[in-house]
Amino acid sequence: MLLPDWIDVEAWEGYEEMRRKIRKPMTDRARTLAVRELEKLKAAGNDPNEVLDQSTLHSWQGLFELREKSKPKQVDTTPEWLEFRKAIQNNRLPENMAITRAIQTFGGLYRLGSMSSYDLDRKRGEFDSMIRMKEAA
């Protein structure tokens, strides 16, 4: 198959090699359809060679729009946050932090991907226990 000049031969061959290694070799029809898909992605503003490299890197059988490069997670280093982290690690309730702020922080950790849903539920349970013990004292 003759590739259009806007497709890098190295990117295409890398994609085809990956397809063979995952035991999904391309038929002639699949090659034609892949070029057609790359044309659509190119028209939508995606670099076809980056699309090929993305699929090769992730061992994806298909061709997809480029994913945005993930931004590095920002770490909160405010004194309030550091105190909160230290208190939670020591399984105690921070003295000068509002309960709602602590719960928001748990939710923020979950949304940032720094905490799994399991850990979020577990920490909320521990947090609730600490509150009940503090109120009972």
More confident residue, 37 or 94: 37
Burial zone of 3 (CB within 10 Å; 0-12 exposed, 13-18 middle, 19+ buried): middle
Note if the pTM is more than 0.75: no
Cβ atoms 6, 48 nearer than 8 A: yes
Query: Residue 137 — very low, low, confident or very high, per pLDDT cuts 50/70/90?
Result: low
DSSP 8-state symbol, 96: T
pLDDT on residue 120: 58
pLDDT, average across residues 3-26 = 95
Domain boundaries along the sequence of the chain: 9-58, 79-136
More confident residue, 69 or 83: 83
Query: Residue 103 — very low, low, confident or very high, per pLDDT cuts 50/70/90?
Result: low
Alpha helices in the chain (DSSP H): 9-21, 28-43, 48-58, 79-89, 99-112, 117-136
Half-sphere exposure of 93 (CA within 13 A, CB side): 20
